Chain A
Amino acid sequence: MVLNYLANFRALLIRVCITAFFFMTFMTFTAFMAGPAHAKAVAKILQNSSCTAYKIDGKRKRVYKAKLPFPPNVAVSSAPAAGRNFYGFKVKSSSTYDVIRNSKYSKDFYMADRNCLYPKVAETEAPSAPIVSVNIKSQIKTPNKWVPTLYLQTIRTKYTVTLPSESTTSISGNTTGMAAEISRNWYRGRSVYSAAAAGFWGISEIGRSSDERNNGDLNNFEYQAKNIISLGGEASFAYLIAPFDATNWIGVKMPIRWTHTPVPQPPDTTYTVGPINKISVSYLLEARLQTGPFTWIQNYGIYGSWGNIIWSLGMSYEF
C-alpha cells in the first residue's frame, strides 16, 4: 500500500507541496495566534511601571530605558518580534495611516524583558533601579538552544553512466524530499553561528535532458528510473547576520551530505549507473525570517558542483 502511494511521483510531489503549505500555514496560524496574546501582554508593560521596556538605538548600539507609561494613544504592534528572553515590539498609534510619521514613537523599536509578560515574575524580578544605558549585545545575546527544523527540498543531481568502453558520461536526475534538522545557534550580538545535523528522505528520478539525448555515447542506452527512495544525513555549518533587526537573518550555510540512492541498474549489464552512495558539499545562501517562535528559512545554492541547484524551504520552532 505504501509502495502504491509512492508510485505516482507527481501526485506525491503535489501532496508534499500541499502538505507543506498547510503545515506551514498551520504553523504560522499558530504562531500568530500567539502573537496577539503576546501583544496584549506587552501592552500591559506600557501601563505597568514596575516592568522595564528598553528603547533600542541601533546606530549607537545602545539600549536606553523607555519612559513609562506611554501616552494613551500609543498602541503596541500586535505581532511582536520574539527572542528567547525578550519580546521586541514597535509602538504605533491606532491608525494605519499614522504609522509612517504621525507618531514620534513609531520609528522606535523597543524590547521588554520576557518576565514582564508574566506579572507574578515581573513583580519580583523587574528591575527598579534608575536607568543605565547598557550594551545592546548583552540584551540580544540569548541562551543557546536546540532548534528543530523541517525542510522541503528539491535538488538537481547528476548520475554517472559507465559505458562498455569503461569511459563515463553523465545523466540528469532530480530529488525532491524532506529533511529534519536539529541545530544549535550561538549568538554573538547581531550575528549567529549555527551547527546542525539532519536526516533526509526523498524520491529521485533519473532521465535524460535535451542535451543528453544528443549525446552520441548514449545512443544505444535507453534508461529511465523513477520513484527511487533516497536517504541521507548531513552536517552543516552556517553563519548569519541580522543587518536590520533581530528577526531578519541572512547568511551562508555549508552542508556536507551523504546520500544513499539505490539506483536500479540497466538491463544491459555492459552499462552501469551510479553512484549509489555519494558525499556532496553544498554552498548555500540562507535567509531566516522570524515570526513569533517560528522561523521561515529558505536556502538556495549549489549542490556538489556548479549547475546543480538545491533549494529548500523550512520552518523551525525555538522552544
Chain B
Amino acid sequence: MRFLRYGLIWGQIFFIFSARAYPTFIGYGYQSCSLCHVNPFGNGPLSDYGRAVGAIAVSGKTFWASNSSDEELALASNFLGRKKMKYIKPSADVRGLLLMRGLQTESSSTAFIPMQADVSLSIPFPEHKNWVSATLGYYPDRSSSGNNDDLPLISREHYAATTINKSNKVLLGMMDIPFGIRTADHTAYSRTGTQLTMNDQAHQLLWYNFGKEYDLGVSVSAGNLFQESDKRQKGASVFFEHELWSKTRFGFSSLYSKNSYRSRLMNAVHARIGATEGSAVLIEIGTVLQKTQIPTSNFKSYFLFENMFRISKGLHLLLLGEFKTENTFGPARRDLRIGPAIQYFPAPRLEIRADFQTTRSLGSISVEKDQIDLLAQVHLWF
C-alpha cells in the first residue's frame, strides 16, 4: 500500500526511466501514456510508477527475478536497483536488431543494427511540479561517404515542464510531436509515412490538458532548431483521445507544418481497444497531403492494424497488418506489410522480440514478390 501510494505520487510527478511507448498496454488497463511516461505523450523516459508497472505487471519472472516477490521487483526497478535517487533520475536504454532480409530468396542478407543507445537525465524541482528532462541518443553516420566528423549523437529530447494545475501541464523544448498512435515500431507506415520517426523531434511549446477520460495536446512547433532554418518544419498539431468505455479509446490527430520546400497537412483517426488483460487492438487510418515547390500535390494514406495477444505473463503474440500508398487516388506504388511477432519480457529490464515480416509492393505496372524478413531484437534498460 505504502509503495503504491508513493509510486502514484512520484509517478504523477514524472521521474525517469528510458523506454519506448507501448500503446498496446491499454490491454493492461494503462490507458494514457502519462501514467507511466515522463512525457505525457509517451516515448522516452518512464516514471517510477512506469518502472514498477514494467517490473511487476508486464514482465515475467525468469532469470534474476525468479525468486522475487512483486514488491521486491517494484522496489528494485530504480536505476540503481533498490537505491532510490531522489534528486536526479538517470537512465539508459539499449536496443540491438539482427535483421535477416529476404529469407525466401537466394540473395538474403544478415546485418546487425544498433537501433538505440540512449542515456537520459531528469531533474525534478521542489514541490515536484516542475521538471527538466533530456535524452541523448546514438545516431550513426548516415552520410553516403561515411566521413562525417560529427559525433554520432543526437538530442532526442530536452525540455522543461511545469504543472499548472490538476488538469494542465506545459512543456517547452525539443520532443516528439504528438500525432496518432505512437507505436514502438519506428518503421511502421504510420510513422514513416508521417515522417514522425525516432529522429524527427521538434522544438515546440506543448500544452497538455487531461482528465480521467481524455488526453488533449496542442503543440506549436518552431521545427528542429538544430537544422538549417529553411529546413525546419514549423507548424502546429492537435492530438485528442477520449475513453469511451473502460480500456477503449478513440482519438484523432491533425498536424500542419511547413518549411521553405514543402508543406504537410496530416490527419488521422485511431482506436485503441483493450480486451482481456494484456490483449489489445490498435487501429489507425491517416492521410498526408504534401505540397512541394513542384506544382503537384501528393495525397498519401496509410492504415495500421495491430493485435496484441497475451499468451502468458510477459509473453505476447503480435499480429501486424499495415498498408500505405504514395498517392491515394492516382497511379502509385502501394505497400503492404504483414506478419506475426513474438514479444517477450522474460524479466524486468529485458525485452526480446522477433518479427516475421512480409512486405509486398505493388507498382503501377509491376507486382513484386513478397519480401520476408526476420527482425530479432534485444532491448535492455537500466
**Which A positions have Cβ atoms within 8 angstroms of B?**
8, 10-11, 13-14, 17-18, 21, 24-25, 28-29, 32, 35-36, 39, 77-79, 81, 90, 96-102, 154, 156, 172-174, 205-211, 213, 224, 243-245, 247-248, 250, 285, 287, 289-291, 296, 298, 300, 306-309, 311, 313
Chain A proximity mask over B39-56: 1 for CB below 8 Å, otherwise 0: 000000000010011001
CB of B338 within 8 A of CB of A311, answer yes
| Contact of B140 with A by CB under 8 A | no
Q: Which residue of B lies closest to A75 (CB)?
A: B246
Chain A proximity mask over B358-373: 1 for CB below 8 Å, otherwise 0: 1010110111111010
| Contact of B307 with A by CB under 8 A | yes
B235 contact set on A, CB distance < 8 A: none
CB of A208 within 8 A of CB of B367, answer yes
| Contact of B334 with A by CB under 8 A | yes
| Contact of B279 with A by CB under 8 A | yes
CB of A99 within 8 A of CB of B29, answer yes
B155 to chain A, nearest CB (A): 32
A300 contact set on B, CB distance < 8 A: 319, 338-340, 358
Q: Which residue of A lies closest to B303 (CB)?
A: A17
Among residues 258 to 298 in chain B, which have CB atoms less than 8 Å away from a CB atom of chain A?
A: 271, 273-279, 281, 283, 285
Interface hit among B13-21, B322-330, B343-351: B322-330
Q: Which residue of A lies closest to B49 (CB)?
A: A97
Interface hit among B112-120, B157-165, B308-316: B308-316
B271 contact set on A, CB distance < 8 A: 25, 28
| Contact of B224 with A by CB under 8 A | no
CB of A250 within 8 A of CB of B283, answer no
Q: A77-B246, A100-B57 are in contact. Are A172 and B367 (CB under 8 A)?
A: yes
B246 contact set on A, CB distance < 8 A: 35-36, 39, 77-79
CB of B325 within 8 A of CB of A14, answer yes
| Contact of B70 with A by CB under 8 A | yes
A29 to chain B, nearest CB (A): 8
| Contact of B81 with A by CB under 8 A | no
A125 to chain B, nearest CB (A): 27
Among residues 1 to 37 in chain B, which have CB atoms less than 8 Å away from a CB atom of chain A?
A: 1, 4, 7-8, 29-31, 35
A28 contact set on B, CB distance < 8 A: 248, 271, 273, 281
CA distance A100 to B283 in the complex (A): 26
Q: A17-B323, A90-B277, A243-B312 are in contact. Are A154 and B336 (CB under 8 A)?
A: yes
**Which residue from A14, A206, A298 sits with its C-beta under 8 Å from B328?**
A14
CA distance A100 to B303 in the complex (A): 33
CB of B367 within 8 A of CB of A248, answer no
CA distance A287 to B274 in the complex (A): 15
| Contact of B177 with A by CB under 8 A | no
Q: Interface residue count for B (Cβ, 8 Å)?
A: 67
| Contact of B301 with A by CB under 8 A | yes
CA distance A96 to B363 in the complex (A): 48
B338 contact set on A, CB distance < 8 A: 154, 300, 309, 311
B312 contact set on A, CB distance < 8 A: 243-244
A102 contact set on B, CB distance < 8 A: 1, 4
| Contact of B203 with A by CB under 8 A | no
CB of A32 within 8 A of CB of B244, answer yes
CB of A154 within 8 A of CB of B360, answer yes
CB of A79 within 8 A of CB of B278, answer no
A285 contact set on B, CB distance < 8 A: 340
Q: Which residue of A lies closest to B104 (CB)?
A: A307
Q: Which residue of A lies closest to B103 (CB)?
A: A307
List 15 additional contacts besides A32-B273, A307-B370; criterion CB under 8 Å. Answer: A10-B331, A11-B329, A79-B245, A79-B247, A90-B277, A98-B4, A101-B70, A207-B362, A244-B310, A287-B309, A289-B307, A291-B281, A296-B307, A309-B360, A311-B338
CB of A100 within 8 A of CB of B307, answer no
| Contact of B321 with A by CB under 8 A | yes
Q: A100-B56, A248-B309 are in contact. Are A224 and B365 (CB under 8 A)?
A: yes
Question: Closest 4 CB pairs between A and B?
Answer: A78-B246, A311-B338, A207-B367, A172-B367
Q: Which residue of B lies closest to A79 (CB)?
A: B246
CB of B305 within 8 A of CB of A13, answer no
**Which residue from A10, A14, A209, A248 sits with its C-beta under 8 Å from B366?**
A209
CB of B317 within 8 A of CB of A311, answer no
CB of A101 within 8 A of CB of B366, answer no
Q: A96-B31, A244-B312, A309-B370 are in contact. Are A36 and B278 (CB under 8 A)?
A: no
A71 to chain B, nearest CB (A): 16
CB of A248 within 8 A of CB of B274, answer no
| Contact of B80 with A by CB under 8 A | no
Q: Which residue of A lies closest to B338 (CB)?
A: A311
CA distance A14 to B246 in the complex (A): 31
CB of B328 within 8 A of CB of A25, answer no
Q: A156-B370, A174-B362 are in contact. Are A311 and B279 (CB under 8 A)?
A: no
Q: Which residue of A lies closest to B70 (CB)?
A: A101
